[in-house]
Chains A and B, each alone.
Chain A
Amino acid sequence: MKNGTLIIFKKELARFFGDRRLLFTTVIMPGLLIFVMYSIMGNAMTSMLDTSDEACKIAAVNMPSAIESIFPKENYEFTEIDGSELDDAKEKLSEKEYDLCMVFPENFEKSLTDYQPGQNADSVPNVEIYYYSASISSSNAYSSARDILDGVEQQISNVFNINFAESAEDMAKYDVATEAEASGTFLAMILPMLLMMLMYSSCAALAPESIAGEKERGTIATLLITPVPRNQIILGKILALSVMALLGGLSSFLGTFLSMPALLGDVDDAVGGLSGEYYMFTDYVWLIVIILVTVMFFVTIISVLSTLAKSVKEASTLVMPLMIVVMVASFASMYASNAKEEIYWYFIPIYNSIQSMIGIFSFSIAPVNMAAAIMSNIAFTLIGLVVLTKLFGSEKVMFSK
């Protein structure tokens, strides 16, 4: 004969997969939304930083030709103006006719050649650059022009070099971390947080509806008068919800991962290519197991809260504080480059999942700690199931109006 758990499990999945709207809002939409949003954000950020399309228009007073030649011609367009025209030019900054106004002291070049190391700061010449911070192109032009002038200054007073290199490849020799480690550190910073939050919100989107919703609509009582033991009903629901939550989480994760190149274009270069190719098969197994037990734990604890709630609305309110706990724990761990070593951290639910994931991504797995985290999640899930069974048996909880 069929087992009660299996029958409930199948019914929950039939409900989920049969309802196109539910399937769309919980599985397809989150991933799609994240992908579209992050891609747009990424592209917007890139185009904000990317000013190469149009040359900066600079009004300059006393511009020495030697300095002007340092600015790449295709990016900077200089207009020589007289000192008396400066106020007029400054007005034009806000009208975006000019991006910058530069004022060089007279005899600027001569004062450079006369420069003595240790010269008093008051007596060195001052270059004034006026800009309009309300305009992005002006702000960008300001910082790039500053960078170029800083470079000029350093060349003049060059006393020593730091990490001198002819080319980018040459430069890379100073970073003794392997590409894998650099990539790992970056992933360990960002992915545990993302995964935890996506998993939690996926669970929080599904469990209240399945439990508080059935309670609110009076359909759970119909189940409770069948001879199926309470714990089988609960287990069937928890397993089905875990499957759905994993699908939802997977969708969000794919959305995030696929939009990563657009979002993190520059960072990607900085860490020498972001990729999962450095991870071994065992790393993926650890990750999948951690994700599984974490989702089960989330589903169970949200189910407990949903059972206590009288309505879906109340359940959604009850799960919010826990969302904050998950977020805080995730953010707090963002800048730890390595996972905690002491085993006791791995007994704390939520935190242990984050630490385990950091360990996996940063190649610092301690199998004992992983095992502790997995066991702890399973133990807390089991406790949650016992609590749920008690709650399902309590008429005050199940039939409160």
Chain B
Amino acid sequence: MKEILKVSEISKTFRLSSKQQKIEKTDRKTKTAVEKLSFSAYEGEIFGLLGPNGAGKTTTLRMLATLIRPDEGDAVIDGVSVMKQPEEVRKKIGFLTSELKLEDFFTPDFLFDFFSDLHKVPDEIRLKRKDELFEKFGIDKFAQVKVANLSTGMKQKVSLVVSLVHDPDIIIFDEPTNGLDVITAKVVTDFLLELKSRGKTVIVSTHIFSLIEKICDRVGIIIDGKMAVCDDLKKITEEKSLEDVFFDLYFERKGDEI
């Protein structure tokens, strides 16, 4: 199997404002969100990052998506470094997170074309891809309705489709099913499996055990910005369920703080 993503000891530290210091009950001016995190993902697999809220999952994915830069370390995606050539990385990946919003004023149809242009997708491919994706997610019914007038689920579908206009080989999803109704969530998880079957590599972050168990080939458990364990899902769950593995690790590391 080809190693398509290699993360080597990336770290990210944020400065805390005085308000955040109070919330965190600390006098320290900085917070290490991710500390020397390393893992790899292989071509054609779904890799899951599992961890509680605030563990550093989103920060890690944002570093991979080149929205923020690691303070230390590097990640190489399909041979391109996020530190050295972020623009090249952006061509190779599709990134979806709830923080990325679409402009209310435009229609899904316009936005698909707009982002296709930004990704320099040739016109004929764009039209074909648009038809396919719009049909799959049922967007064709509201393709000419402004985003402002769409429901949360519809918006999520449009965001998903827009993040895939350039048919990237590596897809990074932050909490892919968060805030979705059960039907839409099922459409999305099925789609992730379909992407995998087409040879794409998918990286997802989540705190939902069942999602990992359902779709992931390999999993990395992050606690407090550090990788607690990273292995094949099958190996990890040989003796215990994923949930038990997670809580054992969690109490091992944070038991005294609870």
Contact A221 B99 (CB under 8 A): yes
Shortest distance from the beta carbon of A95 to any chain B beta carbon, whole Å: 62
- Whether the pair A222, B105 counts as a contact (CB closer than 8 A) is no
Residue of A nearest to B90 (CB): A227
- Could you tell me the distance between the alpha carbons of A227 and B117 in the complex, rounded to whole angstroms? 11
The answer on a CB contact under 8 Å between A395 and B67 is yes
Are B118 and A226 neighbours in the complex by a CB distance under 8 Å? yes
Contact B90–A219 (Cβ < 8 Å) = no
| Chain A interface helix/strand/loop/mixed | helix
Q: Is A313 an interface residue when CB atoms closer than 8 A count as contact? A: no
Beyond A221-B101, A226-B118, 18 extra complex contacts between A and B, CB < 8 Å: A1-B120, A15-B105, A217-B104, A218-B99, A219-B101, A219-B103, A222-B100, A222-B115, A225-B65, A225-B95, A225-B100, A226-B119, A227-B87, A227-B90, A227-B91, A227-B120, A395-B67, A399-B68
User: Taking chain B's interface residues, is the majority helix, strand, or loop, or is none over half, making it mixed?
Assistant: loop
Contact with A along B189-213 (1 / 0, CB 8 A): 0000000000000000000000000
Is B57 interfacial (CB 8 A cutoff)?
Answer: no
A18 CB–B CB distance under 8 Å: yes
B114 interface contact, C-beta 8 A: yes
A228 within 8 A of B: yes
Which 7 A-B pairs give the minimum distances between C-beta atoms? Answer: A218-B101, A226-B118, A227-B90, A395-B68, A222-B100, A227-B91, A7-B117
Q: Which of A15, A19, A219, A227 contacts B118 (CB 8 A)?
A: A227
- A4 interfacial by beta-carbon distance below 8 Å: yes
Q: Judge whether B66 is part of the interface by a CB distance below 8 angstroms.
A: yes
Q: What are 12 sample pairs from A and B whose C-beta atoms fall under 8 A apart?
A: A2-B120, A7-B118, A14-B106, A14-B110, A219-B103, A221-B100, A222-B101, A225-B66, A225-B67, A225-B90, A399-B67, A399-B68
**Distance between A220 CB and nearest chain B CB, rounded to angstroms:** 9
**A11 CB-CB contact with B under 8 Å:** yes
B150 within 8 A of A: no
On chain B, the residues within 8 Å of A2 by CB distance are 117, 120
Instruction: Decide yes or no whether B218 CB sits under 8 A from chain A.
Output: no
B201 smallest CB distance to A (angstroms): 17
Residue from B67, B100, B118 within 8 A of A4 (CB atoms): B118
The distance from the CB of B197 to the nearest CB of chain A, in whole angstroms, is 25
Contact with B along A222-234 (1 / 0, CB 8 A): 1111111100000
Residues of A266-299 at the interface with B, using a CB-CB cut-off of 8 Å, are none
Mark A363-401 against chain B: 1 for CB-CB distance below 8 A, else 0.
Answer: 000000000000000000000000000000001000100
- Given A1-B120, A2-B120, A7-B118, A224 and B101 contact (CB-CB distance below 8 Å): no
For residue B102, CB closer than 8 A to chain A, the reply is: yes
Residues of B whose CB lies within 8 Å of any CB of A are 65-69, 87-88, 90-91, 95, 99-106, 110, 114-115, 117-120, 162
Q: Number of A interface residues, CB 8 Å?
A: 24
Interface residues of A (CB under 8 A from B): 1-2, 4, 7, 11, 14-15, 18-19, 214, 217-219, 221-229, 395, 399
CB distance from B138 to the nearest CB of A (A): 22
List the A side residues contacting B106 at CB < 8 Å: 14-15
**Residues of chain B with a CB closer than 8 A to A4's CB:** 118
Within the assembled complex, what's the spacing in Å between the Cα atoms of A97 and B117? 78
- With a cutoff of 8 Å between Cβ atoms, the chain B residues found around residue A218 in the complex are 99-101
Tell me, in angstroms, the Cα distance from A226 to B119 when the chains sit together: 7
Which one of B87, B105, B110 contacts A19 once the chains associate, using CB atoms below 8 Å? B105
Tell me if A229 and B67 are in contact (CB < 8 A). Answer: no
* Cα of A228 to Cα of B114 in the assembled complex, Å: 12
A2 to B118, CA, bound (A): 8
| A19 neighbours in B (Cβ, 8 Å) | 105
Q: A2-B117, A7-B118, A217-B101 are in contact. Are A226 and B67 (CB under 8 A)?
A: no
A350 CB, min distance to chain B CBs, angstroms: 32
A221 to chain B, nearest CB (A): 5
Q: What is the bound-complex CA distance between A113 and B103, given in angstroms?
A: 88
Task: Provide the bound-state CA to CA distance between A14 and B110, in Å.
Answer: 10
CB distance from A19 to the nearest CB of B (A): 6
- A15 CB to closest chain B CB (Å) equals 6
| A219 lies within 8 A of B102 (CB) | yes
Residue of A nearest to B97 (CB): A221
Given known contacts A2-B117, A4-B118, A222 and B91 CB-to-CB distance under 8 angstroms: no
Closest chain A residue to B100, Cβ basis: A222
Cβ contacts under 8 Å, B162 to chain A: 222
> Among the listed A222, A225, A228, A395, which residue makes an inter-chain contact with B102, where contact means beta carbons less than 8 Å apart?
A222
Q: Specify the chain A residue showing the minimal Cβ separation from B118.
A: A226
Q: How many Å from the CB of A397 to the closest CB on chain B?
A: 12
- Taking the closest CB of chain B, its distance from the CB of A251, in whole angstroms, is 22
A57 vs B23: C-alpha distance when bound (angstroms): 78
B104 neighbours in A (Cβ, 8 Å): 217
State A4–B87 Cα separation when bound (angstroms): 13
> For residue A399, which residues in chain B have a CB less than 8 angstroms away from its CB?
67-68
A217 to chain B: which residues have CB within 8 Å?
A: 101, 103-104
Known: A1-B120, A219-B103, A221-B99. A7 touches B114 (CB 8 A): yes
Q: A53 to chain B: closest CB distance in Å?
A: 54
Q: Report the minimum CB–CB distance from A401 to chain B (whole Å).
A: 10
* B67 CB contacts on chain A under 8 angstroms: 221, 224-225, 395, 399
Q: B61: shortest Cβ distance to chain A, in Å?
A: 11
Instruction: Decide if A395 touches B117 in the complex (CB within 8 Å).
Output: no
A18 to B68, CA, bound (A): 33
The reply to whether B119 and A227 form a contact with Cβ atoms under 8 Å apart is: yes
- A224 nearest in chain B by CB position: B67
Chain B residue nearest in CB terms to A400: B17
Query: In whole Å, how far is B60's beta carbon from the nearest beta carbon of chain A?
Result: 14
